[in-house]
Structure 1
């Protein structure tokens, strides 16, 4: 029983994939009244529980605090009581920055969370880092950027639906680079942490694919998989920004916040954790991961 790796929050996209990719892992739901006993004799606890982005803007701040802060505190306290030697807490790069950064983000950079999501993720990090750990336990906080893979239902799927239907992409005037991480590379990082956590100090680590990609490059991957040559529209930036401002007040697909996320640079350095774990190469390049994800979209549609 002590060889079990317990995943909290295993019913979501990331959790379902990790259950398949991490041997001896089991999912435990906090809705189960006996969850504390189920994690007591685990070897490793992986906490995926949290409330993600609220694209509709209807969720209250307290809802984010309940899921992202209060539950993180509860899980940490049970980790201290358990036999587990390692707690891997999944935070988000949004705890540090949500919109743009001219240079790859490093762990020591200042944090500027903006949304309830980002702020509560950062609040949980700060609380966790203030807690005293026994000498035989470690806490690893991971900050991934957007995660994609089989079963992903996020923004990448929305872009795929647009391009696969032959609808022209209207934002070609914007050239940007953003970091992502494929679910395969995320699972690889976690497996490496489990195997080599003696080489890691407790603390915050960024994980991401080695290469950042632009929206144009993602579209090129979609076109390649779909074997379609849809056109791109290079609408004037001032016109697009004007439409986005309209979307701030009228329920249309584009608003200023979404436009900034789609067109700004936000890259992440994974060098700290790769150096600590002596990782040279990740299983998949950014392009290979995207191709795998897009093929999963195509397979589901077909």
Structure 2
């Protein structure tokens, strides 16, 4: 199968896919910034849209920045797919398109949209636009919604938490009890490989990806301490004090915690991966949630 991946192979997910998919498939990575490759005869069986903007820890990105990368370029990518010979278009969306903060129940693919940030709203807009397009009968659209994907090279919230733990800063969030779904990069690549190999089993539509197990923030910190060997003390501050301090972080980057990051670290957000696993007859993912987390922490430790 000839796979055309829109987005560079030097980014976090692209670099891992380029390694994992190079043997079973003929993969080419192309940029959406320079469309000189986009001739009238794009030779590919499948196109995967990895293009997008996610993390912004500088606070400088505007809403238009997110909508250009996550919405406008998604439309352009889909238009290229429609005019190509490719039969399968895989769009990498995000759980943030429907929920970013908290959900009391396991989220299925038919959950209502509840995005709140420019990132989430731009992902939602792309999904809604893609689903509104008329597909030729011989073409298929698969939209994938992963939660936080982590692994070597990740620059997301796990890296931020690791930087706090590795500095020996007392961990103050012990009183918060939560469950969150994550997705290790190895499991993400496994899902993509299986979709490519078994795409005839899938109908066009949305599919959630995640590890099989959830993790709590306390479990994550415990594993970080085990992998680093650091005796980081716990300092269980009352929740109301933590909430007050996080508001201070909204006004200065010198404080490592703000209200948004506090919600990300302490709220419940669980994803159901049942639909994709049943469709592809996946019984077990390559890594458990804890195994994938340990891989990520070891990679972060090497970088530190």
Q: TM-score, normalised by structure 2?
A: 0.94
Distance 1:253 1:162 in 2: 8
Distance 1:138 1:285 in 2: 30
Secondary structure of residue in 2 paired with 1:169? coil
Secondary structure of residue in 1 paired with 2:39? helix
Distance 2:258 2:6 in 1: 34
Q: Which residue of 2 aligns with 1:71?
A: 73
Could you say if the C-alpha distance between residues 9 and 297 of structure 1 is closer, same or farther in structure 2, counting changes exceeding 3 Å?
Answer: same
- Any residues of structure 2 matched to 1:281-296 within 5 Å, and which? 281-296=284-299
Secondary structure of residue in 1 paired with 2:233? coil
Q: Which residue of 1 aligns with 2:277?
A: 274
Distance 1:138 1:201 in 2: 7
Which piece of structure 1 moves more, 164-173 or 54-63? 54-63
- Per-residue CA distance 1:116-172 (angstroms, 9 max, x = gap): 110010010001001111121111000001110111122111222222232211111
Q: Which residue of 2 aligns with 1:140?
A: 142
- Any residues of structure 2 matched to 1:67-146 within 5 Å, and which? 67-146=69-148
Name the Cα RMSD after superposition. 1.5
Distance 2:51 2:279 in 1: 26
Matched, 1:18 2:20: no
- Per-residue CA distance 1:88-133 (angstroms, 9 max, x = gap): 1000000000000011111111110000110010010001001111
Distance 1:298 1:120 in 2: 33
Secondary structure of residue in 1 paired with 2:91? strand
Could you say if the C-alpha distance between residues 90 and 160 of structure 1 is closer, same or farther in structure 2, counting changes exceeding 3 Å?
Answer: same
Gaps of 5+ in 1: none
1:39 deviates by 8.0
Distance 1:285 1:39 in 2: 42
Which piece of structure 1 moves more, 167-176 or 85-94? 167-176
Q: Which residue of 2 aligns with 1:202?
A: 204
| Candidates 244, 247, 270, aligned match of 2:246 | 244
Q: Which residue of 2 aligns with 1:164?
A: 166
Secondary structure of residue in 1 paired with 2:215? coil
| Candidates 40, 43, 50, aligned match of 1:41 | 43
Question: Once superposed, which parts of structure 1, at least 4 consecutive aligned residues long, lie more than 6 Å away?
Answer: none
Distance 1:239 1:171 in 2: 10
Could you say if the C-alpha distance between residues 254 and 299 of structure 1 is closer, same or farther in structure 2, counting changes exceeding 3 Å?
Answer: closer
Q: Which residue of 2 aligns with 1:263?
A: 266
Q: Which residue of 2 aligns with 1:51?
A: 53
Distance 2:146 2:68 in 1: 21
Query: Contact 1:42/1:83 (CA < 8 Å) preserved in 2?
Result: yes
Q: Which residue of 2 aligns with 1:5?
A: 3
Distance 1:54 1:269 in 2: 27
Could you say if the C-alpha distance between residues 61 and 300 of structure 1 is closer, same or farther in structure 2, counting changes exceeding 3 Å?
Answer: closer
Matched, 1:297 2:300: yes
Could you say if the C-alpha distance between residues 285 and 71 of structure 1 is closer, same or farther in structure 2, counting changes exceeding 3 Å?
Answer: same
Q: TM-score, normalised by structure 1?
A: 0.95
